[in-house]
Amino acid sequence: MRQQHVPVSAQPNREKQHRMTAAICSIILQGLGQLYNRQWIKGIILLLLEGAGLAYLLPRLSQAVWGIWTLGENTQRFVKVNGSTVLQKGDHSIFLLLDGIIVLLVFFVFVLVYILNIRDAYMTGLAREQGKPTLGAAATMRNVMDKNFPYLFLSIPALGILFFTIMPILFTVTIAFTNYAAPDHIPPAKLVDWVGFKTFTDLIQLKSWSQTFYGVLTWTVIWAVLATVTTYFGGVLVALLIEQKGIRFKKLWRTIFILPYAIPQIISLLLMRNLFNGQFGPINTYMRAFGLEGLPWLTDPFWAKVTVIVVNMWIGIPVSMVLILGVLTAIPRDLYEAAEVDGASAFQKFKIITMPFILFATTPVLIMQFAGNFNNFNVIFLLTNGNPLRGDYQYAGATDLLVTWLYKLTLDNNKFNMASAVGIIIFLIIATFSIWNFRRSKSFKEEDMIQ
């Protein structure tokens, strides 16, 4: 009798039995798939984690979503109870927003662990189907400490970044889309509402705010460019002069020029603030002693800007000098010797050899210096405090940068929503500029320095 052939598609498909069963079990209950795969300790740990996560999230998740969506419904008010006036607490919009963000981040971590639990159960079931032994507790621990140790080690700071860096950023971003500002919307006396992009449109279009924003932004860009260029090329010039052949006492010169960097910046800036004082500062005193009229270093808008740039050069040039000195020592001497044989002048050697080497090695640092100067809070705040004041500006002075204006909006005037919008704009400008320039630099592309 001829045996009938059964097609492969009609045969019982048992290849995915373990992996699918384990995955479905982990979908139903976190850790159940690991228990199915006989990973008892891992399964129990995952079950406990799910229990702890549900115990935290179930009573809080709906309240968190409601708090973020509404930012509260009841204001603080006085009510009469049994003939006496009692303060009835209301909803605090900012606390509701902050608590909601924290709960949602915990929910995100919970979902991530849940997905990883399903994947782990599926992969372990697949290993069982292939005839591989299931890892026990000791073998799992060895695998974690060996192959997966980088993930374990990085997960701890990753959680810290999530809750101590990303969470404040999310909170700041959300504040920019509310009307959280004095005097009309400060909880708990008043509730805060979502206003969408109104804060940004007011900042850019409303004359009382836009004049200040564009004025401060323009000065911030000018300051960042001048502060970066002067300190960088000033450092290049000083380093080249020190490394010139025939210069004696090179160590002494390096020591002298590094002293401003060695002194704490706050001391240098406060000292400079007194030196440039228009009334009793030593600089104006010496100028008057020689029959010259003292200058309004810190009280005139133009001279205040000149002063902060000069003082920043005093502080920043030593940093660039030290960096450039290290680069100059790494340039091969035979390149200069070959250039001399070809009859190259000193300027040609600088243009063809020295400067390309310096730029190749320091372009990332130069970009970082620009970003740092864009947000250079210390120099402006400690030297001029953003002054002199301007009557046509909202809470800003002639030398205020966006970052110092943000400080004044937040701590001095409680304009939290406007400050958050300014912070977002600062981030977008710096991030766009830095990423674009990093990707264009030869250091990033790892190209040959000389083409």
Task: Report how far residue 451's alpha carbon sits from residue 446's, in angstroms, rounded to the nearest whole number.
Answer: 12
The three-point CA angle 96-99-103 to 5° equals 130
Residues of the chain falling short of pLDDT 70: 1-16, 77-88, 135-137, 139-149, 441-451
Domain-wise residue ranges, the chain: 12-175, 199-445
What angle in degrees, to the nearest 10, is found between the helix axes of 301-330 and 355-374? 140
Q: How many CB atoms lie within 10 A of CB 72?
A: 20
- Got the DSSP string for 250-286? HHHHHHHHHHHHHS-HHHHHHHHHHHT-TTT-HHHHH
Q: What is the largest CA-CA distance in the chain?
A: 128
pTM above 0.75, yes or no: yes
Residue 11: the pLDDT is 39
CATH superfamily placement of domain 199-445: MetI-like (1.10.3720.10)
Look up residue 343 and give its two tokens.
């009859």
Position 234 scores a pLDDT of: 94
pLDDT at 396: 94
Three-state SS for 40? helix
- Beta strands 77-81 and 84-88, pairing class: antiparallel
